[in-house]
Structure 1
Amino acid sequence: MNPCDFSLGKPQSAEKVCLNKEASLSKHCSKNAQKDLSLVTPNAGGYPEERRCREHAKMLDCYCQDDLACVCAMCSSVGSHKGHSIVALKEEHDKQRVILSLTMKSIQENKNAVNKVLMHLQKSEDQIKYNKKSLTVQLSKLFQEIKSQVNQKEKQILGDIQSNEEKQLADIFALKKKAEGKRDAALHGLQELQMLTKQADAFRFLKDFQLAQERIKKQNSSNESVEVLTVHLDESVIQDVRSHTEAYLSNLDNLMQVVHGKIINQTQWCRAIPAAEFSLDDVVCEVFPSPPSPQTRKLSGTNSAAAHLTFGNMEQDP
Structure 2
Amino acid sequence: MAEPGAVAGLEEELTCPICLGIYSNPVSLGCGHSFCKACVQEARSHRPSPRGPFTCPLCSAWADPAMELQPNVQLRSIVQKFLEAPARQQEQEREGQREEEGASLGQRDGVILCDFCLQEPQPAAKTCLSCEASLCEAHLSKHSTKSPLKDHVLMEPCSAHLLAERRCPQHGKLLECYCKTDSVCICVLCCIVSSHRKHKITTLEEAFGQAQSVLPETLATVKEHKAALNQSIANLLKQEEEVKAKESLLRDQLETLFKEICLQLDNKKREVLKALSDYKEQQLSQIKMEVQKHKEEKDAASCDIQELEALRDQKDLLLFIKSFAAIQARKRKPLTNKDGIELPTPPIILDKLTTDATLRLFKQFLSDMQSLFEVPPVQEHLTSSMPLGLKFGYSANVVSASSRGLLHFGVSNPSDAIQHVKSNQSFSRGCHFWEVDTSNASCWKLGIINPNFECYLQMSHDSLHVFLGQTMITAKGFSTALKVVRVELDCRRNTLSFYNVSVEDGDAAESLRLLETVSIPSDYPAYATFGVLDGSLKLL
Query: TM-score, normalised on structure 2?
Result: 0.33
Query: Could you tell me which residue of structure 2 aligns to residue 153 of structure 1?
Result: 275
Structure 2 CA distance for partners of 1:223 and 1:48, relative to 1, 3 Å: closer
Give the structure with the higher percent strand: 2
Find out whether 1:92 has 2:211 as its counterpart.
Answer: yes
| 1:45-194 matches, cutoff 5 A | 46-47=162-163, 50=166, 60=176, 63-71=178-186, 80=197, 84=201, 87-89=206-208, 91-92=210-211, 94=215, 133-191=255-313, 193=314
**1:262 partnered with 2:384:** no
CA displacement 1:128-182 (0-9 Å, x = unmatched)? 7656655543433333333322222221222221111011111111211222222
Counterpart residue identity of residue 221, structure 1: A
Structure 1 residue 48 displacement after superposition? 7.6
Q: How many Å separate the matches in 2 of 1:25 and 1:117?
A: 58
Secondary structure, counterpart of 1:66 in structure 2: coil
- Counterpart in 1 of 2:407? none
Task: Mark the runs of 5 or more structure 2 residues left unpaired by the alignment.
Answer: 1-101, 103-112, 138-152, 379-540
Counterpart-to-counterpart distance in 2, 1:57 and 1:247: 89
Matched, 1:43 2:151: no
SS of alignment partner, residue 42 of structure 1: coil
Provide the residue aligned with 1:311 in structure 2.
Answer: none
1:12 aligns with 2:122: yes
DSSP 3-state at the match of 2:281: helix
Aligned AA (2:305):
R
* Structure 2 SS opposite 1:63: strand
- Structure 2 residue aligned with 1:3, among 91, 114, 133? 114
Q: CA deviation at 1:13?
A: 1.5
1:186 partner SS: helix
Residues 97/12 of structure 1: CA separation in 2 closer, same or farther (3 Å cut): farther
Alignment CA distance shift 1:138-1:214 (3 Å): closer
Distance 1:143 1:131 in 2: 18
For the 8 Å contact 2:180–2:200, the answer to whether it is kept is: no
CA contact (8 A) 2:128 2:134 kept: yes
Q: Please, which moves more after superposition, 181-190 or 208-217? A: 208-217
Pick closer, same or farther for the CA change 1:221–1:98 going to 2, 3 Å. same
- Which residue does 1:33 correspond to in 2? none
Q: How many equivalent pairs are there?
A: 240
Which residue number corresponds to residue 426 of structure 2?
none
Distance 1:184 1:82 in 2: 140
| Deviation by residue 1:74-104 (Cα, 9 ceiling, x = unmatched) | 999xx94785466423643748777766676
The answer to whether the Cα contact below 8 Å between 1:75 and 1:81 also exists between their aligned partners in 2 is no
- TM-aligned CA distance change 1:121 to 1:186, over 3 Å: same
**Equivalent residue of 2:159, what SS?**
helix
Q: Determine what percentage of the aligned residue pairs are the same residue.
A: 15
User: Quick check: 2:125–2:136 contact (8 Å CA) kept in 1?
Assistant: yes
Using a 3 Å threshold, how does the CA distance of structure 1 residues 17 and 179 change in structure 2: closer, same or farther?
Answer: same
1:144 maps to amino acid: D
Distance 1:50 1:246, change over 3 A: closer
Q: Counterpart of 1:303? A: none
Give the structure 2 partner of residue 305 of structure 1.
Answer: none
Specify every segment of 5 or more residues in structure 1 that has no aligned partner in the other structure, as ranges. 28-36, 197-207, 270-318
Q: Distance in 1 between matches of 2:240 and 2:332?
A: 88
What does residue 406 of structure 2 align with? Answer: none
Question: In 1, are the aligned partners of 2:179 and 2:199 still within 8 Å (CA)?
Answer: no
Using the TM superposition, give the Cα deviation of residue 50 of structure 1 relative to its aligned residue in structure 2, in angstroms.
Answer: 2.4
| Shift in alpha-carbon separation, 1:3–1:153, aligned structure 2, 3 A | same
Map of 1:227 onto structure 2 = 335
1:173 & 1:47 partners in 2: Cα distance? 122
